[in-house]
């Protein structure tokens, strides 16, 4: 995999050494700034801290990982540009946020495409999913791993049981045309807002609904300003751990190999724990009494699916039939 990444970067004309030359001076640790937009007690937040800890233990004074959580250094609207400039070195944006760099990752935003997180995981681990880690190399962005958060739920200021209940409501969305189309498909409006602004936008009435996994609903206290959460599991919110290719390949080989081994270990831990963290946050929200969790019957969920599924055709051309087929196939555990 790493050889393939290297080859892709070379093919894209990226100069490998140099970008971190000053950081790699023998007597100074390489500083890796890892910025993200969620709190420490989420799957991504925990992953960033584990990465920092393992790097401190194993690479001692050669590498230092700085973690900047909860949009404290840079928000999601600017973080990828900051990565390209080299102001930050590791990010794990939601897969919905790469739209301007590749259309292929839009596959992850398609509503009701993946049956569950296990299907998402299979797609990410199979060759087509692994190849997507390289889909932004012409922009100098390399994907190092997929990290799970979880399946998204719909929250609103009124109960959403049927698709028609969403009509005319405004939902906060991540910056994604697929998500815009998904809400348009049920007659709702959508407003693209940075993650750091979601709570205040819901509280102030700028938008009346949102879609989030349980961990984001809990850690950003969105459940306190959304009286109803429908358990739709209608899509996935996962991440790609990315770096700036020039920075990454400028790290001396021996250190980079150790970093990549650590990332594999952290990825395994994040992906093992994400479902458990989300389940615990769901229970906390249920126990808070602040928000009513609405279960959907099979027929109700099928109605949401039927209303939103036409979005697949709308984006199939951009995503590519092969990628879409591989994603659908991941709903089965056997490959054929």
Q: Which is nearer to ligand LMR, 195 or 248 (CB)?
A: 195
Q: Which of 76, 79, 281, 300 binds ligand LMR (CB under 6 A)?
A: 76
Q: Which of 71, 135, 182, 216 binds ligand LMR (CB under 6 A)?
A: 216
Distance of closest approach, residue 74 Cβ to ligand LMR, in angstroms: 12
Q: Applying CB under 6 A, what is the total number of residues that bind ligand LMR?
A: 9
CB hemisphere CA count around 331 (13 angstroms)? 9
Distance of closest approach, residue 52 Cβ to ligand LMR, in angstroms: 18
Distances (CA, A) of 92 to 80, 95, 136, 213: 10, 9, 14, 16
Distance of closest approach, residue 44 Cβ to ligand LMR, in angstroms: 6
Q: Which of 137, 149, 190, 278 binds ligand LMR (CB under 6 A)?
A: 149
Q: Which of 174, 190, 267, 291 binds ligand LMR (CB under 6 A)?
A: 174
Distance of closest approach, residue 230 Cβ to ligand LMR, in angstroms: 17
Distance of closest approach, residue 147 Cβ to ligand LMR, in angstroms: 10
Binding to ligand LMR, residues 265-324 (CB under 6 A) = none
Q: Which is nearer to ligand LMR, 23 or 37 (CB)?
A: 37
Per-residue contact string for residues 7-46; x = within reach of ligand LMR by CB under 6 A: ------------------------------xx--------
65 φ, ψ (degrees, to nearest 5): -100, 125
Kindly state whether residue 182 participates in binding ligand LMR, applying the rule CB under 6 A. Answer: no
Q: Which is nearer to ligand LMR, 45 or 140 (CB)?
A: 45
Q: Which of 123, 171, 183, 195 binds ligand LMR (CB under 6 A)?
A: 195
Give the span between the Cα atoms of 163 and 154, in whole angstroms. Answer: 11
Q: Which is nearer to ligand LMR, 23 or 175 (CB)?
A: 175
Distance of closest approach, residue 144 Cβ to ligand LMR, in angstroms: 16
Q: How long a stretch of residues is the chain?
A: 336
Kindly state whether residue 249 participates in binding ligand LMR, applying the rule CB under 6 A. Answer: no
221 φ, ψ (degrees, to nearest 5): 55, 35
Give the span between the Cα atoms of 14 and 28, in whole angstroms. Answer: 25
Best CA proximity match to 151, nearest among 275, 216, 237, 221: 237
Q: Which helix (H) or strand (E) holds 53?
A: helix 43-59
Distance of CA 114 to the CA centre of its chain: 15
User: Which residue, chain included where needed, has tokens 């969620």?
Assistant: 38
Distance of closest approach, residue 94 Cβ to ligand LMR, in angstroms: 3
Distance of closest approach, residue 97 Cβ to ligand LMR, in angstroms: 6
- Residue 311 and residue 186 in contact, taking contact as beta carbons nearer than 8 Å: no
Task: Give the DSSP letter string of 194-258.
Answer: -GGGHHHHHHHTS-SEEEE-HHHHHHTTGGGS-SEEE----SEEEEEEEEEHHHHHHS-HHHHHH
Distance of closest approach, residue 294 Cβ to ligand LMR, in angstroms: 20
Kindly state whether residue 94 participates in binding ligand LMR, applying the rule CB under 6 A. Answer: yes
Give the span between the Cα atoms of 222 and 261, in whole angstroms. Answer: 36
Name the β-bridge partners of 229: 155, 293
Kindly state whether residue 219 participates in binding ligand LMR, applying the rule CB under 6 A. Answer: no
Residue nearest to ligand LMR (CB): 94
Strands of 170-173's sheet in order across = 189-192, 170-173, 209-212, 153-156, 228-230, 292-294
Please give the residue ranges that form the binding site for ligand LMR (CB under 6 A). 37-38, 76, 94, 149, 174, 195, 216, 237
């Amino acid at each position: 995999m790493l050889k393939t990444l290297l080859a892709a970067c070379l093919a894209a004309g990226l100069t490998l050494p140099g970008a971190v030359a000053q950081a790699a001076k023998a007597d100074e640790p390489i500083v890796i700034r890892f910025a993200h937009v969620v709190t420490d007690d989420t799957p991504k937040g925990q992953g960033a801290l584990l990465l920092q800890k393992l790097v401190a233990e194993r690479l001692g004074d050669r590498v230092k990982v700085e973690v900047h959580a909860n949009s404290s250094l840079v928000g999601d609207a600017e973080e990828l540009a900051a990565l390209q400039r080299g102001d930050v070195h590791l990010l794990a944006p939601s897969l919905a946020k790469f739209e301007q760099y590749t259309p292929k990752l839009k596959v992850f935003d398609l509503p009701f495409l993946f049956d569950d997180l296990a299907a998402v995981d299979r797609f990410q681990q199979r060759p087509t999913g692994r190849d997507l880690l390289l889909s932004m190399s012409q922009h100098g962005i390399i994907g190092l791993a997929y990290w799970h958060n979880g399946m998204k739920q719909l929250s609103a200021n009124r109960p959403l049981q049927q698709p028609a209940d969403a009509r005319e409501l405004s939902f906060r969305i991540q910056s994604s045309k697929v998500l815009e189309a998904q809400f348009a498909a049920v007659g709702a409006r959508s407003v693209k807002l940075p993650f750091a602004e979601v709570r205040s936008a819901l509280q102030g009435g700028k938008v009346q609904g949102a879609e989030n996994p349980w961990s984001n609903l809990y850690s950003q206290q969105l459940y306190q300003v959304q009286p109803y959460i429908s358990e739709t599991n209608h899509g996935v919110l996962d991440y790609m751990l990315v770096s700036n290719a020039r920075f990454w390949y400028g790290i001396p080989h021996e250190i980079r190999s150790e970093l990549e081994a650590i990332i594999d270990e952290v990825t395994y831990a994040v992906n093992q724990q994400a479902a458990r963290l989300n389940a615990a946050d769901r229970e906390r929200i249920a126990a808070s009494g602040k928000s009513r969790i609405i279960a959907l019957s099979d027929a109700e969920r099928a109605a949401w699916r039927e209303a939103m599924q036409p979005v697949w055709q709308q984006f199939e051309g951009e995503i590519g039939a092969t990628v879409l087929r591989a994603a659908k196939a991941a709903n089965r555990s056997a490959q054929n």
